[in-house]
Amino acid sequence: MAKITKVSPLAPAAFPDLPAIDGVRFATIEAGVRYQGRTDVMLAVMDPGTSVAGVFTCSATRAAPVLDCQDKIGGPSDGPAAILVNSGNANAFTGHYGQTSVAAVTQAVATATGVPVGRVFTSSTGVIGEPLPHDRIVSQLEALKAGLSMHALEDAAQAIRTTDTFPKGASAQVEIDGKTVSISGIAKGSGMIAPDMATMLVYIFTDAKVEQAALQQMLGAQTDRTFNCITVDSDTSTSDSLLLCATGASGVDATGDAAFAEALENVMLNLAKQVVRDGEGATKFVEIRVTGAASDTDAKVHGLAIANSPLVKTAIAGEDPNWGRVVMAIGKSGAAADRDLLSISFGDILVAEKGWVSPKYREEAAAAYMTGQDLVIAVDLGLGEGMSTVWTCDLTHGYIEINADYRS
Amino acid sequence: MAKITKVSPLAPAAFPDLPAIDGVRFATIEAGVRYQGRTDVMLAVMDPGTSVAGVFTCSATRAAPVLDCQDKIGGPSDGPAAILVNSGNANAFTGHYGQTSVAAVTQAVATATGVPVGRVFTSSTGVIGEPLPHDRIVSQLEALKAGLSMHALEDAAQAIRTTDTFPKGASAQVEIDGKTVSISGIAKGSGMIAPDMATMLVYIFTDAKVEQAALQQMLGAQTDRTFNCITVDSDTSTSDSLLLCATGASGVDATGDAAFAEALENVMLNLAKQVVRDGEGATKFVEIRVTGAASDTDAKVHGLAIANSPLVKTAIAGEDPNWGRVVMAIGKSGAAADRDLLSISFGDILVAEKGWVSPKYREEAAAAYMTGQDLVIAVDLGLGEGMSTVWTCDLTHGYIEINADYRS
Cβ neighbours of A369 (radius 10 Å): 18
Amino acid at A274: Q
pLDDT at A372 over 50: yes
- Sign, Cα dihedral of B245, B249, B252, B253: positive
Q: pLDDT by residue (tens digit) across A166-202?
A: 999 999 999 999 999 999 999 998 644 333 445 688 8
pLDDT at position B198 is 54
What is the distance between the terminal CA atoms of chain A, rounded to a whole angstrom? 4
Region B353-359 average pLDDT: 88
Q: pLDDT by residue (tens digit) across B44-80?
A: 999 999 999 999 888 888 899 999 999 999 988 878 9
ipTM attached to this prediction: 0.86
- Residues of chain B above pLDDT 90, percent: 72
Beta strand segments in B195-250, E = 201-206, 230-231, 241-246
Q: Which chain A residues are within 8 Å of B342, Cβ to Cβ?
A: 61
Each domain of chain A, given as residue ranges in start order, spans 24-277, 285-405
Q: Higher model confidence: residue B237 or residue A221?
A: A221
Q: Which of A60, A129, A357 sits opposite B129 (nearest CB)?
A: A357
Q: Which CATH architecture has domain A24-277?
A: 4-Layer Sandwich (3.60)
Q: Are B356 and A93 in contact (CB under 8 A)?
A: yes
Question: Which residue out of A162, A322, A363, A406 would a mutagenesis test of the B interface target, given it has the greatest number of B Cβ atoms within 10 Å?
Answer: A322
Least confident window among A14-28, B81-95, B192-206, B381-395:
B192-206
Q: Is the peptide bond before B195 cis (omega within 30 degrees of 0)?
A: yes
Which residue in A has a C-alpha nearest to residue B407's C-alpha? A320
As a whole number of angstroms, the distance between CA B196 and CA B214 comes to 36
pLDDT at B407 over 50: no
Cβ contact, residue pair A235, B318, below 8 Å = no
Q: Are B218 and B261 in contact (CB under 8 A)?
A: yes
What are φ and ψ of residue A193, in 5° steps?
-105, 130
pLDDT at position B216 is 95
Q: Which chain A residues are within 8 Å of B330, Cβ to Cβ?
A: 60-61
Least confident window among A266-275, B103-112, B168-177, B231-240:
B231-240
Q: pLDDT by residue (tens digit) across A245-300?
A: 999 999 999 999 999 999 999 999 999 889 888 888 899 999 999 999 999 999 99
Q: CB-hemisphere CA count at 13 Å for B7?
A: 10
Cβ contact, residue pair B309, A234, below 8 Å = yes
Cβ contact, residue pair B356, A95, below 8 Å = yes
Which residue in B has a C-alpha nearest to residue A394's C-alpha? B404
Cβ contact, residue pair B395, A404, below 8 Å = yes
Q: Based on C-alpha coordinates, what's the Rg of chain B?
A: 22
Cβ neighbours of A80 (radius 10 Å): 18
How close A403 gets to chain B, by Cα (Å)?
6
Q: Is the peptide bond before A195 cis (omega within 30 degrees of 0)?
A: yes
Q: Which chain B residues are within 8 Å of A61, Cβ to Cβ?
A: 327-328, 330-331, 337, 339, 342
B364 is in an annotated binding site: no
pLDDT at position B98 is 94
Which residue in B has a C-alpha nearest to residue A237's C-alpha? B328
Q: What is the mean pLDDT of chain B?
A: 91
**Candidates 3.30.470.20, 3.30.1330.60, 3.30.1490.390, 3.10.20.340; correct CATH number of B285-405?**
3.10.20.340
Numbers of helices and strands, H then E, in chain A: 12, 16
3-state secondary structure of B186: strand
pLDDT at position A2 is 42
Region A3-7 average pLDDT: 65
Question: Which residue out of B1, B196, B371 would a mutagenesis test of the A interface target, given it has the greatest number of A Cβ atoms within 10 Å?
Answer: B196
Q: CB-hemisphere CA count at 13 Å for B342?
A: 30
Classify strands B51-56 and B41-46 as parallel, antiparallel or unpaired. Answer: unpaired
Classify strands A241-246 and A201-206 as parallel, antiparallel or unpaired. Answer: parallel
A199 is in an annotated binding site: yes
Cβ contact, residue pair A311, B92, below 8 Å = no
Exposure string over A4-32, b if 16+ CB within 10 A, otherwise e: beeebebbbeebbebbbbbbbbbbbbebb
Distances (CA, A) of A163 to A33, A83, A187, A280, B276: 15, 21, 13, 10, 33
How close B347 gets to chain A, by Cα (Å)?
19
Distances (CA, A) of A344 to A325, A378, B94: 11, 6, 14
Q: pLDDT by residue (tens digit) across B313-352?
A: 999 999 999 898 899 899 889 999 998 999 999 999 999 9
How close A354 gets to chain B, by Cα (Å)?
7
Sequence-distant (≥ 6) Cβ neighbours of residue B14 within 8 angstroms: none
Question: Which residue out of A403, A405, A406, A408 would a mutagenesis test of the B interface target, given it has the greatest number of B Cβ atoms within 10 Å?
Answer: A403
pLDDT at position A198 is 54
Q: Which chain B residues are within 8 Å of A382, Cβ to Cβ?
A: none
As a whole number of angstroms, the distance between CA B263 and CA B271 comes to 13
- The count of CB pairs under 8 A between chains A and B is 223
Sequence-distant (≥ 6) Cβ neighbours of residue A68 within 8 angstroms: A99, A102, A106, A121, A122
B89 is in an annotated binding site: no
Q: CB-hemisphere CA count at 13 Å for B196?
A: 27
Q: How confident is the model at residue B229 (pLDDT cuts 50, 70, 90)?
A: confident
pLDDT at position B192 is 41
Q: Higher model confidence: residue B101 or residue B238?
A: B101
Active site residues of B: 199
> Would you list the DSSP string of B120-138?
EEEEEEEESSS---HHHHH
Q: Which chain B residues are within 8 Å of A196, Cβ to Cβ?
A: 322, 324-325, 328
pLDDT at A89 over 50: yes
Q: Which chain A residues are within 8 Å of B308, Cβ to Cβ?
A: 234
Closest residue by Cα to residue A254 from A243, A264, A266, A239: A264
Question: Which residue out of B56, B59, B343 would a mutagenesis test of the A interface target, given it has the greatest number of A Cβ atoms within 10 Å?
Answer: B59
As a whole number of angstroms, the distance between CA B58 and CA A47 comes to 55
**DSSP H or E stretch at residue A26:** strand A24-29
Sequence-distant (≥ 6) Cβ neighbours of residue B304 within 8 angstroms: B231, B333, B390
Q: pLDDT by residue (tens digit) across B83-133?
A: 999 999 999 888 889 999 999 999 999 999 999 999 999 999 988 888 999
Q: What is the mean pLDDT of chain A?
A: 91
Q: Which of B322, B331, B357 sits opposite A59 (nearest CB)?
A: B331
Q: Which of B195, B311, B337 sits opposite A233 (nearest CB)?
A: B311
DSSP bridge partners of A125: A87
Classify strands A81-89 and A41-46 as parallel, antiparallel or unpaired. Answer: antiparallel
Cβ contact, residue pair B333, A396, below 8 Å = no
